[in-house]
Amino acid sequence: MAANTLPGAVKIVEVGPRDGLQNEKDFVPTAVKIELIDRLTQAGFANIEAASFVSPKWVPQMADGAQVMDGIARRTGTIYSALTPNLRGFEGALAARADEIVIFGAASEAFSQKNINCSIAESIERFAPVAEAAKANGVRIRGSVSCALGCPYQGDVPVESVVDVVQRFAALGCDEIDIADTIGVGTAKRVHEVFEAVTKVFARERLSGHFHDTYGQALANIYAALEEGIAIFHASVAGLGGCPYAKGATGNVATEDVLYLMNGLGIHTGIDLDQVVAAGDFISRTIGRANVSRAGKALLAKQQNAIACA
Ligand code: HMG
Ligand code: MG
């Protein structure tokens, strides 16, 4: 374990509009996606994952990425990211003025096939021209390593497989790399092991933790990653989401819960928790989905009590 004290500040990447909404069964209207992103922008996020430029046959929910990116009110200093599995996706993201593109691979062969229909090696070949084009156009590039803590098809994923993909992403020139627990099976010990290994091959300050919360371990995993000196975390407002290619997986850890933790630890985020709670309430009510943020629900109940007692 790194002997670091916890970081004094972290970047929270809000992924609800993409990782969250991609999993909804009924199409979420473009105007609702835009309002959600605008509310999150106003809450102060420095990075919002706003859209995917993927095949609409594979993920129909993200088919309106261009309209979403066109309709949002951007804040200077906020990075609006978009997923791009291939050059076609990159062209869409570039035309939509994405500030950052995300190439997404996996540390598990089986998941790579299910999610992007190719092997890990083929995916890296496909990402190479995407990365080159991003560099040529001055667009930031992030690499996301799915199944870094376990795979729904393969089960255990060796730490060396994660290190291998991180090295390949590093060679492509990624500015940031996500260690993703796609199905939320990881526990704190494995988080320490994985970050200890990957920080040997990629800069600690450019690695992030992307934890889904299926087994309720995400906050413990974030704390373990903080102990490893990791200072970028992904979270989804109201705990929106799941994964279309990982049955039974729940959404990312809820943003409200992460902010509550960071506030309690005195770690700076620059984000207004009350506005995120309101955004979580807005999206949950609008799409008729349960709000699964514990902190979000508690804070909403507290507000309602205060109104009732006033
Ligand atoms: P394929 O079927 O092997 O490739 O899909 P294809 O080239 O034959 O394309 C199929 C069809 O899609 C064709 O249309 C293409 O034109 C079209 P048709 O000729 O049949 O009418 N197409 C596109 N359309 C729009 N934009 C594009 C695009 N590319 C092809 N960019 C492909 C391969 C990669 C395209 C497909 O598998 C795909 O789109 N997969 C995306 C899957 C996805 O988005 N998964 C969720 C995001 S990843 C995630 O959530 C994990 C993460 O959160 C981290 C974690 O938690 O682990 C990031
Ligand atoms: Mg995810």
Classify residue 46: in a domain, yes or no.
yes
Q: Is the per-residue pLDDT at 66 higher than 90? A: yes
| Tens of pLDDT, residues 114-168 | 999 999 999 999 999 999 999 999 999 999 999 999 999 999 999 999 999 999 9
Q: Is the pLDDT of residue 309 over 90?
A: no
113: Cβ below 6 Å to ligand 1? no
The 10 Å Cβ neighbour count of residue 272 is 15
Residue 49 lies in a domain: yes
pLDDT tens string 31-53:
999 999 999 999 999 999 999 99
* Residue 4 within a domain: no
Is 3 inside a domain boundary?
no
In a domain, 200, yes or no: yes
The reported pLDDT for the residue numbered 179 is: 98
Query: In angstroms, rounded to a whole number, what is the distance separating the alpha carbons of residues 7 and 194?
Result: 18
| 174 annotated active-site | no
CATH number of the domain where residue 242 is located: 3.20.20.70
Between CA 27 and CA 53 the distance in angstroms is 16
- How far is Cα 123 from Cα 248, in angstroms, rounded to an integer? 25
Mean pLDDT on 183-201: 97
Helix or strand holding residue 146 (H, E):
strand 140-146
Decide if 194 is inside a domain. yes
User: Does residue 2 surpass a pLDDT of 60?
Assistant: no
Protein residue with its CA nearest to atom 4 in ligand 1: 117
In a domain, residue 180? The reply is: yes
pLDDT band at 3 (very low <50, low <70, confident <90, very high): very low
CB of 146 within 8 A of CB of 182? yes
Residue nearest atom 14 of ligand 1, based on CA coordinates: 55
Containing structural domain, residue 173: 11-309
Degrees to nearest 5, angle at CA 24 with 18 and 26: 125
Task: Judge contact between 36 and 16, C-beta under 8 A.
Answer: yes
Is residue 1 included in any domain, yes or no? no
Ligand 1 center to 198 CA (angstroms): 27
Tally the domains of the chain. 1
Query: Which bound ligand lies closest to the C-alpha atom of 61?
Result: 1
